[in-house]
Structure 1
Amino acid sequence: MLKMLLQAGLGLGLAAGIAGSAVAQDKLRVAMVASESGIGDRSFNDMVVVGLKRAEAELGVEYVVIQPRAISDFQASLARAAAQGFDLIIGNSFDMVPPLEAVAKAFPDQKFALIDAGMEVPNVVSAVAKDWEGSAVVGYIAAKTTKTGKIGFVGGKDIPVIHRFFAGYYYGAKMADPNVEVLERYSGTFTDPAVGKEYTLALASEGSDINYAVAGATSSGVIDGARESDTLAIGVDSNQNYLAPGHVLTSMMKRVDTITFDMVKSVQDNDFKGGQVLLYGLKEGGVDFAMDENNAGLIAPEVLADAEAFRDKIIAGEIVVPNYFDIAPGAKSMGEPPVPTPPSIADAK
C-alpha cells in the first residue's frame, strides 16, 4: 500500500516505524523522494508512483513516498531515508543530483537510484529517458498539424534539462516543415497551473495554435489554456490527453514508470547496476507519443503515418535527434540530418 509522508515536521524515524511494522522482513523496502512538482502533478512524480505500484503488485515490494517541502530539503530527506536502511532509495529530479551525490558518498552501502539525470557513483544507478527523441516526434506532429504555421513551447524553468526538450521539439518541427515558426517561452515555475494558463493564452494571442507543455504541475494550466482559447496543447511525461479531450493533440510520454519498475526489479534480482547511467529512448520504449479516445481525430491519418515513419527512422538510427547537452557551443546546425540551431540554443551555448 502507498504510504505518503509529508516532511512538514515528520521525522523519518516515523517512516521507519510505519514501514517496519507493516512489512515482513523478507519484502523489499523502497523509498521514493519526490521532486519539486510533487505527488499529484499528473505528470513526472505520478508516473514514478505508477511504477512503484506495479512493483508492489508484481514483485511484492513495500514502498514509501517522501515529499520534501522544498528543493533545499532534498539532502536531508535523502539522508534520513538512508539512515533507515531501505533496500533502495529513489530520487527523481535533476535538482537532486548534488544532494543525492553527497548522501550516496556518506552512505556507501546504501543502494540509490536517480531518474532523469546521470550520475556515475558506485552505489547509484541512474537512468535518463531520451525525452529529446519523444519531443522530436511530437514536434513533427505539431508542425504537420498547425493551421497558423506557428507552434509554441512552454517550459518550466529556463534551465538546460528543459532546453533538452525544446531542442528535440524544434528539431522535429523543422524536419516536418522548415518554415514553421516555433515560439519558446518559460513560465519560471513547475508548480503553478495559473501561470501556465496565462502563458498559453498569450501564445494563442500571438497565433500559436499548438503549445507543448514541459512544466511539471504547471503543464495542467497550459492544457486548461488550450481549452479556453480553443487551441491545442501537447502533454508531457504521462498521458495527459484526458485532461481536456479534444484539446490535447497528444502527449509525450516519458515512461519513468517502466524505469522505476526496472530499477526496483534489479535490486530484487541482485542485478543492481551501480555506477551506470541507463538510457531509455524510443528504441527501448522509454518515450513515445500517446494515442487514445481522447485525441481521436485530432491527428490526420496521413500525419500519423508520417510521424510513425519518422519515429521508425529515429529507432533505426537513420535520424539522430540532437541532445541539447551534446550541441557544441556556437554550432550553426544540430542533428542528423542537420537543421539550423535556434538562436536561443546557439546563444546559450
Structure 2
Amino acid sequence: MFGRRFSVLIVAVMVLGIILTACGAEEAQKVCAVLDTGGENDRSFNEFTLKGARDAAAEAGLEFAHIVSEAETDYEKNIQNFIDEGCSMIITVGFLMGDVTAAAARENPDVDFAIVDVEYFPGLGCDESLSDCYEEDLSNVTSLMFAEDEVGYLAGVLAGCMSESGVIGSVSGMEIPPVVKFVVGYQNGARTQNPDIETLNVYIPDFNDPSTGKQAGQAMLDDGADIIFGVGGNTGNGGVLAAHEAGKLGIGVDVDQYNTYPDVAPSLLTSAAKNMDVAAFNAVTAFANGELQAGINLGTVENEGIGLAPYHDQEANIPDECKAAVDEAKAGLAAGTIDTGYGP
C-alpha cells in the first residue's frame, strides 16, 4: 500500500515538473535587438527601434536584451551571441545587416527575425530562381519597411512651396534604396510647386560623418539653397546644422528631429518621419501573441506608418497655401492617385 502511494506521489511530482518546465519555457521567451553602429541614443534608427521593441517586450512580459554594434564586423557575432543565449526573436537594424540577418535566419529556422529597412527579393537576398524569398526561403523573417518616397514627397511639396531662392538641397547618406526613395520623392514633390526649382543632392557613403555632411550642406547653401533636407543619420544632421547656422531652413528625417536634435530645432520646417518605434512595437507584440507573419510590413501615408512631423516653431511662418498643398498631397498619396516617381 505504501509502495503504491509512493508510486502515485512520484508520478504526481513528475507531472508537476513537466508542467513547471513548460511554464518556465514559455516564460523564458526572450526578445533581442542588434543595433547598428552610432550608439543607442543616435536620435534615429537605433534609438527608436530600441524604444519600440523594449516597450513592447515589457508590456508583454518578455525578457529583453540589446547590443550596440561597434563596427560592421560585429553584426554576425552579435546575432550569433543572441542565438546562443536563446533569444526567440531577434530584431536587427539597417540595410547593412541584410545579408547577415538572412544567413542567420536560414541557419536558425526556429528563431523569428525582424529587420528594419531591409526587404528581400529573388536575386537580392535569396536565390534568383525563387518567386518569393519569404515563402520559399526566409519564412521566419519579417521586414519592417517604410514608403520613404511618400513622406519624402510631402517634404518636397513643403520645401518647393516655401523656397524663396528656387534652390533646395538634400544631404544624403549611402546611396541605398531607402535613401534614394527619400531623395526622389523630395525632388518630385518640390517640382509640383515649382517646375523650375533646382534640386541639389549629394550621396555620402557614411551615415555617421556629420563633418562631411556639414561641408556638403554649406556648399549647397553657397549655391543658393535655402532649405536643406538631411537624409542620412548623423551625416544628414551635419547638412541641417549648416542650414541652421546660416539662418536657413532644414528638414529632419526618420523621426521628429525637433525633439531629438535641439541644436537645430528653431530652424526645422518639419521632419520626414518613419514611425520605427511603432513598427518595432507592433512586431514584438505580434510575436508575443503568436501572430508575427513573414514578409514585408510596409508603413505608408495611408496606414500612418510614415508622415511629416509637426511644424513646431515654424508653424506661424508657413503660409496657409503651403499647408494646404501638403494636405492635398497627403490625401492623394493615401488615395493612390499620386505617383511619387520612384521606381526600383
Tell me which interval the TM-score lies in, with the shorter structure as reference length.
0.7 to 0.9
1:174 matched to 2:188: no
- Output the CA distance in 2 between the equivalents of 1:265 and 1:314: 28
State the match for 1:260 in structure 2. Answer: 280
State the match for 1:108 in structure 2. Answer: 109
State the match for 1:39 in structure 2. Answer: 40
State the match for 2:301 in structure 1. Answer: 282
- Output the CA distance in 2 between the equivalents of 1:298 and 1:57: 41
Contact 1:249 1:298 in 2 (8 A): no
Contact 2:31 2:57 in 1 (8 A): no
In structure 2, the CA distance between the partners of 1:144 and 1:123, relative to structure 1 (3 Å rule), is same
Q: Deviation per CA, 1:186-239, whole angstroms, max 9, x where unpaired?
A: 233211222222111111111001011111122322222122111111100010
Q: Deviation per CA, 1:130-175, whole angstroms, max 9, x where unpaired?
A: 1110000001100000010000011012334321211111111112
CA RMSD of aligned residues (A): 1.9
Q: Which runs of 4+ in 1 moved over 6 A?
A: none
Q: Deviation per CA, 1:32-90, whole angstroms, max 9, x where unpaired?
A: 11123332221121111221243145333332221112122212211221122112100
1:1-349 equivalent positions in 2, closer than 5 A: 26=27, 28-119=29-120, 120=134, 121-242=138-259, 243=262, 244-274=264-294, 276-325=295-344
Q: Give, in angstroms, the shift of residue 292 of structure 1.
A: 4.7
Contact 1:163 1:324 in 2 (8 A): no
- Output the CA distance in 2 between the equivalents of 1:171 and 1:57: 42
- Output the CA distance in 1 between the equivalents of 2:315 and 2:229: 18
Q: What SS is found at the alignment partner of 1:296? A: helix
Q: Give, in angstroms, the shift of residue 321 of structure 1.
A: 1.9
- Output the CA distance in 1 between the equivalents of 2:311 and 2:228: 19
Contact 1:241 1:295 in 2 (8 A): no
Identity of aligned residues (%): 29
Task: Return the TM-score normalized by structure 1.
Answer: 0.82
Name stretches of at least 5 consecutive residues in structure 1 with no aligned partner: 1-22, 326-349
- Output the CA distance in 2 between the equivalents of 1:315 and 1:34: 31
Q: What SS is found at the alignment partner of 1:174? A: helix
**Which 10-residue stretch deviates more, 214-223 or 148-157?**
214-223
**Paired residue type of 1:252:** A
Contact 1:36 1:190 in 2 (8 A): no
**Paired residue type of 2:148:** D
Contact 1:246 1:298 in 2 (8 A): no
**Larger radius of gyration, structure 1 or 2?**
2
- Output the CA distance in 1 between the equivalents of 2:228 and 2:252: 9
Contact 1:126 1:278 in 2 (8 A): yes
Q: What SS is found at the alignment partner of 1:54? A: helix
Task: Return the TM-score normalized by structure 2.
Answer: 0.83
Q: What SS is found at the alignment partner of 1:253? A: strand
Q: What SS is found at the alignment partner of 2:196? A: coil
Name stretches of at least 5 consecutive residues in structure 2 with no aligned partner: 1-23, 121-133
**Which 10-residue stretch deviates more, 118-127 or 35-44?**
35-44
Q: What SS is found at the alignment partner of 1:152? A: strand
- Output the CA distance in 1 between the equivalents of 2:318 and 2:30: 43
Q: What SS is found at the alignment partner of 2:314? A: coil
